[in-house]
Amino acid sequence: MQMHLAAFLIAGNAAHSQVLWRHPASQSGGFLKLDYYTNIARTLERGKFDLLFFADRLAISTRFGGDHRYGVAHGDQDATRMDPLPILGALAAVTSHIGLGATRSTTYSQPYSLAREFSTLDHLSDGRASWNVVTSVNQGEADNFGLRETLGHDARYDRADEFLEVTHKLWGSWGEDALLLEVNSGRYADPDLVSAIDHQGAHFTVRGPLNIPASPQRGPVIIQAGSSHRGQDFAARWAEVVFTIQPDLARMQRFYNDLKSRTPKFGRAPQDIKVLTAIMPFVGETIGEAEEKRAQHNALVDPIVGLSTLSSHMNVDFSAYPLDAPIGDLQVAGMQGLFSLIREISAEQKLTLADIGRLYATGVLVPQIVGTASDIADWMGHIIAEGGADGFVITPAHLPDGFDDFVDQVIPELQRRGQFRLEYEGATLRSYLKN
């Protein structure tokens, strides 16, 4: 069976790895330059990745210690995040096949402006736009957008559901044949094929239509990563790609089956959603060389940087808890799906808060897969065959060259085994995902 591959990026100094910017192979400072991103995109397109996407957040970490000072001083995951959409516009110009995804928040955006952004990207990229839908969880973001506190968990998803209804109506507001461009008669477009949406709901009032003709994919491919029950229902209703972090096969299978079993409730089929599980690969000519690469990366980890990022993700100030004690059954208002995983792993492995910080800074619980290209291809094939995922989100240990080993060594191995495409087939990102 063919698998799907996405690349995880942040437009800043980190990825899941929060030591990425300190890695000797990274170009320190490069992440503020366009070349850095064009190099990455070209490498990934050479590897025939389905898509690359940028995670995002709308605030510097302010939760840990109640201030921005720690995260900024040590470069945690939120210390720098440029806006992904202008970068994707530039990447559309230097690539011609790879899907281009950006995260945007349903809590801090308006459907009309967001529909325009992604419709524009979809036109300029000839049908490669993708939107990672997030509901935003942290107080720092609320503080930047005039909310006294973040919306409650279910309230975030209520707003998100209506947001998606509105954007889909807007993307459908121009019929495919509406644009006429009849130069001689002076008919620009057929107004009978362009409709107001007249949406009036609990959160939004939008007349429409969109002021952009129908784009190649109509709307972007929808990515989603919520893992709570409500988050999974939201994904089952709207998502085409679901991105998840699961540490082992049993948990991957549980998540995969749970998510796919929810699709009929929303009139969809299980195969309408591709579940991609995150991995951080370390590839070597020998297992020893691969282990050495992992050790070099992990030796840089500072557990307190991990706790700063964790504080931001979970909306809890972990500086107030003892480092050498377990977290017990602490409840959080932030990313609940991810935090219940942390609680489970901590209980199983008897971890202290410092251990959790170390794990988090290493890669936000993303499993590290270490070996030769053949070992890694074996492992990936096994996960797919056992129903753990439809593909993988590959997250780098350093950049901009962090994907090269994977593209030059693991991809050819997967292709030789018939498990990954040799060429892009189809004209749009959505069509690659169907194959």
Ligand X SMILES: Cc1cc2nc3c(=O)[nH]c(=O)nc-3n(C[C@H](O)[C@H](O)[C@H](O)COP(=O)(O)O)c2cc1C
Q: Does 112 participate in binding ligand X (rule CB under 6 A)?
A: no
* Amino acid in position 373: A
Q: Is 84 in the site for ligand X (CB under 6 A)?
A: no
Among 13, 61, 130, 136, binds ligand X (CB under 6 A): 136
88 binds ligand X (CB under 6 A): no
Can you tell me which of 228, 319, 415, 419 binds ligand X, judged by CB under 6 A? 228
Least distance in angstroms from the C-beta of 278 to ligand X: 7
| Residue 103 binding ligand X, by CB under 6 A | yes
Q: How far is the CB of 418 from ligand X (least distance, A)?
A: 29
Q: What's the min distance (Å) between Cβ of 233 and ligand X?
A: 9
Nearest CB to ligand X, comparing residues 3 and 133: 133
First to last CA, the chain: 10
How far apart (Å, rounded) are the C-alpha atoms in residues 79 and 74?
A: 8
Residue among 102 and 194 whose Cβ is closer to ligand X: 102
Does 311 interact with ligand X (rule: CB under 6 A)? no
Residue 226 in the binding site for ligand X (CB under 6 A): yes
Nearer to ligand X, 5 or 225 (CB): 225
Q: How far is the CB of 55 from ligand X (least distance, A)?
A: 3
Residue nearest to ligand X (CB): 231
- Indicate whether 273 belongs to the interface with ligand X (CB under 6 A): no
Residue from 44, 59, 210, 225 in contact with ligand X (CB under 6 A):
225
429 binds ligand X per the rule CB under 6 A: no
For residue 314, state whether it binds ligand X (rule: CB under 6 A).
no
**Which of 51, 79, 121, 137: binder of ligand X (CB under 6 A)?**
137
Please tell me the distance from the alpha carbon of residue 380 to that of residue 287, in angstroms, as a whole number: 16
- Which of 245, 259, 376, 399 touches ligand X (CB under 6 A)? 245
**In the range 42-61, which residues lie near ligand X by CB under 6 A?**
55-57
283 binds ligand X (CB under 6 A): no
CA dist., res. 70 & res. 83, Å (int): 22
Residues in the chain: 435
Select 197 or 310, whichever has its Cβ closest to ligand X: 310
**Residues 380-409 within binding reach of ligand X (CB under 6 A):** none
- For 129-164, give one letter per residue: b (16+ CB within 10 A) or e: bbbbbbbbbbbbbbeeeeeeebbebeebbbbbbbbb
Cα distances from 413 to residues 139, 195, 378, 387, in angstroms, run 44, 50, 9, 21
Q: Measured between alpha carbons, how far is residue 384 from residues 4, 314, 316, 390 in Å?
A: 10, 30, 35, 6
Please tell me the distance from the alpha carbon of residue 410 to that of residue 407, in angstroms, as a whole number.
Answer: 6
Question: What is the spatial distance between Cα 196 and Cα 194, in angstroms, rounded to a whole number?
Answer: 7
Residues in the interface with ligand X (CB under 6 A) total 22
**Using CA atoms, how far apart are residues 146 and 207, in angstroms rounded to an integer?**
25
Residue given tokens 């797919």 in the structure block: 384
Reduced to 3 states, what is the DSSP secondary structure of residue 5? Answer: strand
Query: Is the CA virtual torsion 229, 60, 79, 220 positive or negative?
Result: positive
Q: How far apart are CA 279 and CA 284, in angstroms?
A: 16
**Rounded to 5 degrees, what angle do the CA atoms 135, 354, 345 make?**
65
Give residues in contact with ligand X (CB under 6 A): 55-57, 103, 134-137, 153, 225-228, 230-231, 243-245, 335-338
